[in-house]
Amino acid sequence: MRQLTDIELQEIRKAIMRKEISSAEILMEVYDHYISHLEESSEEEFNEQLFELEHKFTYAYCHALQAKYNKEIRKELSSLHWQVFKRYFCLSKILYVLVFSFLAFQLSRFVTDQKEIALFMLSPLLILAGAHIFFLIKSYFKIKSIKKNFNAEGPLQSSLFYPISEKLYLPVMMAYGIIWSSEWIFNSKTTVNLAPSIAVVIFITLSIYVLTLFEVWQVKSKKSLI
């Protein structure tokens, strides 16, 4: 095994960049494979071995691999989120959820006008907004060095970035839905008395959603580039 020269490393990066891979995980895995393989060949064999690797990791192969990986990641993330969510209703955590729900219901008694109800309902979104900013900053710094290394200007991002971002936006869309239907909730005679209870249910659901999503992100950030 030998240390590759800077020129050789540059050549490897160029070859990989030509594949226009947008998943940071796939890019790094392919790059590591190339280097591990080429480190075992002599300087004279370098071009021949690189050519051989290029035949194995073709543009089409890398894109198919990336598409499959993105699909698997999305599935895995949803399944992990569901598992974490279910855990909140297991014996070990249900007590906390019940205490939290009880406190939320008690708090809802002090909520009287429309503005307070709306604020109460959507307050978990403030935590979500904070978490989102933190997520964006952390992802940016994790990818920054890779982008710099590869001199990449394209949409290089972790495969987990978009699925998690979508999950972060889901409650925002829900909030839009609530605002859109607020007329019905607050002005209808049948639902006006139920408004604080509806608000507390939404508050609890949103809080659990945000907490579970945060846990999922914590689990995945240790093992990937987010």
Residues near another protein (CB under 8 A) are: 25, 28-29, 31-33, 35-37, 56-57, 61, 65, 68-69, 72-73, 75-76, 79, 146, 149, 222-225
Nearest to 73, CA basis, from 7, 132, 144, 159: 159
Residue with smaller CB distance to another protein, 15 or 28: 28
Q: How far is the CB of 199 from another protein (least distance, A)?
A: 37
Q: How far is the CB of 75 from another protein (least distance, A)?
A: 6
Pair 156, 22: CB distance under 8 Å: yes
Find where tokens 């959603």 sit. 209
Nearest to 157, CA basis, from 135, 182, 140, 138: 140
Q: How far is the CB of 24 from another protein (least distance, A)?
A: 8
Kindly state the DSSP code that residue 23 receives in the 8-state scheme: B
Q: How far is the CB of 32 from another protein (least distance, A)?
A: 5
In Å, what is the CA distance from 170 to each residue of 112, 127, 153?
A: 27, 14, 29
Contacts of 216 (CB under 8 A, 6+ apart): 77, 80, 81, 84, 164, 167
Residue 45 CB: number of other CB atoms within 10 A?
Answer: 12
Widest Cα–Cα separation across the chain: 84
Residue with smaller CB distance to another protein, 10 or 106: 10
Residue with smaller CB distance to another protein, 131 or 146: 146
Q: How far is the CB of 36 from another protein (least distance, A)?
A: 4
Nearest to 88, CA basis, from 101, 76, 78: 101
Q: List, in sequence order, every residue forming a beta bridge with 157; answer none if it has no partner.
A: 23
How many whole angstroms separate alpha carbon 22 and alpha carbon 154? 7
Q: How far is the CB of 187 from another protein (least distance, A)?
A: 47
Residue with smaller CB distance to another protein, 29 or 116: 29
Q: How far is the CB of 93 from another protein (least distance, A)?
A: 20
Residue with smaller CB distance to another protein, 21 or 206: 21
Residue with smaller CB distance to another protein, 31 or 203: 31
Residue with smaller CB distance to another protein, 43 or 72: 72
